[in-house]
Structure 1
Amino acid sequence: MDKPKIEPGKNIAMKVPSFKWAETVSFYRDKVGLRQTRKTPNSIAFEFGAMTLWIDRVEKQSQTDIWLELFTPSPDEALLALGGPARDELEEIEDNNGRWTSDPAGVVLLLRDE
């Protein structure tokens, strides 16, 4: 089986506990100076070079997690090739064209077809 093509995506998500969310958003907006591009009640997006950094408020979380998006024409094949566990219970994928997994360090990866 050939290794499927896998490339960096356009999104990085920082999953932040509620008690640290406002302070973290302020840090990236006011101290780092990132330009805000979108806002929902529990998520703020910033321009991060060619990518978007999402800072998401997570109610029942005690520490911050980083989630990365990877593009691949075949998410199922990429999941098999990477050998990571299927983690599709983590969060619903709106357009249903991807799979959740994680790397050996526990960083969550979204494998999706652009």
Structure 2
Amino acid sequence: MDKKVKFTAGRNIAMKIPPHQYDATVQFYREVLGLREISEHAPAVGFHFGANNLWLDRVAGLSQAETWLEVITDDIEAASAHLEAAGVVRCDEIEPLPQGMQAFWISSPAAIIHLVCKDSASWS
């Protein structure tokens, strides 16, 4: 009997922002909304966003902001096979991951990027 793959929502949300909107976006979360900043991962800019972490990334070449989500799984290999069988588009070339990180990138049908990973503790 095959083990059912388990997925849960991760606590990290990444907003990819074009350079021409980046400073104003950081100011919005920092000064207008007054969210508590995450400072221990500088130079990365992040904010506590309820139970989640909101990371703001400046990305050259974008024309508009994108939101990326994190999904946690208990078995990265089974998750990969399950998603492939379901026809989910894998897009590992979207952004390099740290060496040894058990994770990969996928796109939802609505073109929302998701990081599927075994454990978010190494970067959250």
Same fold? TM cut 0.5: yes
Q: Which residue of 2 aligns with 1:96?
A: 101
Report the Cα distance in structure 2 between the residues aligned to 1:64 and 1:33, rounded to whole angstroms.
21
Asked whether 1:108 is paired with 2:92, we answer no
How many residue pairs were aligned? 112
- The unaligned stretches of length 5 or more in structure 2 are 120-124
Q: How far 1:2 moved relative to its partner?
A: 4.6
Report the Cα distance in structure 2 between the residues aligned to 1:76 and 1:108, rounded to whole angstroms.
19
SS in 1 for 2:89: coil
Q: Which residue of 2 aligns with 1:68?
A: 69
Q: How far 1:93 moved relative to its partner?
A: 1.6
Greater fraction of residues in strand: 1
The percentage of aligned residue pairs carrying the same residue is: 38
Give the structure-1-normalised TM-score.
0.89
Give the structure-2-normalised TM-score.
0.82
Which structure has the greater CA radius of gyration? Answer: 2
Report the Cα distance in structure 1 between the residues aligned to 2:4 and 2:61, rounded to whole angstroms.
37
Report the Cα distance in structure 1 between the residues aligned to 2:16 and 2:80, rounded to whole angstroms.
22
Q: Which residue of 2 aligns with 1:16?
A: 17
Report the Cα distance in structure 1 between the residues aligned to 2:76 and 2:111, rounded to whole angstroms.
18
Q: CA RMSD in A?
A: 1.4
